[in-house]
Structure 1
Amino acid sequence: MNRLTFLLLFLLNIFWCYAQDSVVKEVDSLYKEDQFYAGVTYNLLGKQSNDLSQSGFSLGFHLGFIKDMPINEQRNVAIGIGLGYSANSFNQNLLINKDSNGNYTYEILDNSSFTKNKFSNHLIEIPFEFRWRTSTPTNYNFWRIYTGFKFGYAFANTSKYRGELGSIKYSNNQDFNEFQYGLTLSIGYNTWNLYVYYALNPILSNNAKLNGNNIDVNAVKIGLMFYIL
């Protein structure tokens, strides 16, 4: 009986060690991070002319999935590629209207002449990221620096005005660039991550003119990004 007990204990010990080793190997082989993201940003207009200005609070909401692909043995350096959705608004004093021929026109407003003036867009985005972090397979609180590039397709846009001219609303203005792209950076620890996006092309195409000149404003987004597995 003692020999049988000893044999069973010995076999259980071997099985336990093997199981532990298998678990560790399985954790190592599947170790990935931050594959879902959600964020909120304060949206700014870069490259503004002297007369163009923002008013109110302009917000952006962002969410999506990024495939995390570690490229080193420690799995704390990775490449990420994903798919996401972004909704953005920009409150400012650029009136978007139409002339008698149905062409869009652009005019700088006096801030006291309206109660609402903004344009907004909705984008499908493809982010690319180079990812560095201090994580391990069992440590979920870590520092991260993710930098990369984001390409977006604006499938809808809207401009709204309410003021002395009444109420004006237009949807899917073809003067807006359908394709938006820019640089991204996320830096943070654990849940809280500072996020910055800087667009490399203008929001409006060359068809949009203000006093005969192109309106070269681009999107700059600063806020917080949250990542989960």
Structure 2
Amino acid sequence: MRIFLSCFLLLLAAPVFSQENTITQDTLVLKVDSLYREDQFYFAITYNTLTDKPAGLSQSKFSSGFSGGFLRDMPINKKRTIAVASGIGFTYMNHNQNLAISSTAETPFYALIDQETKYKKNKFSMLSIDVPIEFRWRTSTYESHKFWRIYTGIKFSYLLYDKSIFDSNAGKVEVTGNKDFNKFQYGAYVSSGYNTINLYLYYGLNPLFQSAKVNGESINMKSLNFGIIFYIL
């Protein structure tokens, strides 16, 4: 009789434990889903071009750029497929072209290199700290990191370091800390694709130079960069 009573009580308790386990699992799923974010590290490789160039200025060779950083994801809808994000990063750009920068950083001089002048290298490079602010749409869920995305926004940059090199038969001229470069720069960008690798496009909204002139014409060049961006959780 005692054995029979113990078995009966065990059968009564089993559904209770099963129900508690189901509730716990459902609660866990809801909790994970409600906390899901797409916080991401990013790394981009770009080809850099210039727009609004002064007459006679042309680009040569391959002008590359690299950027990377971290973005904090903040979903704004219940499905967490729409979000805004912001973070911090760094960008390095270099431009190979025929605008020679000489003299000193305080009194720079600009001249277009003519076709008869032979030179080994002529470029300027820039290192900036970035604060991107973007709007995000994606098809992701907390269960899968493979999804379609369109991210677009504005990137604010502050110039940390610049360097110009003109290496010709007459010698090598390097200029750093050029006062004519815009310290504060900003531009619009968009990235789109599937999973880790995405296409990337950036367009500068203000000129790289703030007061430089060549042949009496203001240098109002802006950056136009496109390439590939990688997102890593």
- Are residue 228 (structure 1) and residue 232 (structure 2) matched? yes
Where structure 2 has 5 or more consecutive residues not aligned to the other structure, the ranges are 1-5
Assess if the C-alpha contact under 8 Å between 2:87 and 2:132 holds in 1: yes
Pick from 96, 103, 112: which aligns with 1:98?
A: 103
SS in structure 2 at match of 1:73: coil
In structure 1, the residue matched to 2:19 is 14
Aligned pair 1:88/2:79, yes or no? no
Q: Deviations over 1:3-36 (max 9, x none)?
A: 3543453243123212211221121121111422
Distance across 2 between alignment mates of 1:8 and 1:162: 85
**Alignment map for 1:136-155 (pairs within 5 Å):** 136-155=141-160
Summarize deviations over 1:48-71 as a string: whole Å, max 9, x none: 233111111111111111111100
How far has the Cα of 1:226 moved from its partner? 1.0
Per-residue CA deviations over 1:105-136 (Å, capped at 9, x if unaligned) read 10111355111111001101010101111112
- Select the structure of larger CA radius of gyration: 2
Please name the residue that 2:139 is paired with: 134
CA–CA distance in structure 1, aligned partners of residues 110 and 170 of structure 2: 14
- State how many pairs are aligned: 227
Partner of 1:172: 177
Give how far 1:2 is off. 2.5
Residue of structure 1 aligned with 2:191, choices 186, 192, 196: 186
Q: Does 2:216 align with 1:218?
A: no
Preserved CA contact (<8 Å) 1:33 1:228: no
Report the CA distance shift for 1:135/1:50 in structure 2 as closer, same or farther (over 3 A): same
TM-score norm. by structure 1 comes to: 0.93
- Which runs of structure 2 are paired with 1:2-81 in the superposition (5 Å)? 2-7=7-12, 9-81=14-86
Distance in 1, matches of 2:13 and 2:130, equals 58
SS class of match (2:180): coil
**Unpaired stretches in structure 1, ≥5 consecutive residues:** none
Give the secondary structure class of the aligned counterpart of 2:24: helix
AA aligned opposite 2:220 = D
Q: Is the 8 A contact 1:40 1:224 kept in 2?
A: yes
CA distance in 1, matches of 2:12, 2:168: 88
Alignment check: 8 A CA contact 2:106 2:178 kept: no
> What is the RMSD of the two structures over their aligned residues, measured on CA atoms?
1.7
Deviates more, 1:4-13 or 1:168-177: 4-13
Runs in 1 of length 4+ with deviation above 4 angstroms? none
Residue 208 of structure 2 aligns to a residue whose secondary structure is: coil
Identity of aligned residues (%): 45
Which range moves more in the overlay, 150-159 or 130-139?
130-139
* Structure 2 Cα separation of the partners of residues 51 and 8 of structure 1: 87
Q: How big is the shift at 1:183?
A: 0.4
State the distance in 2 between where 1:9 and 1:41 align: 61
Q: Matches of 1:8 and 1:30 in 2, distance apart?
A: 33
**Alpha-carbon distance in structure 1 between the residues aligned to 2:183 and 2:79:** 40
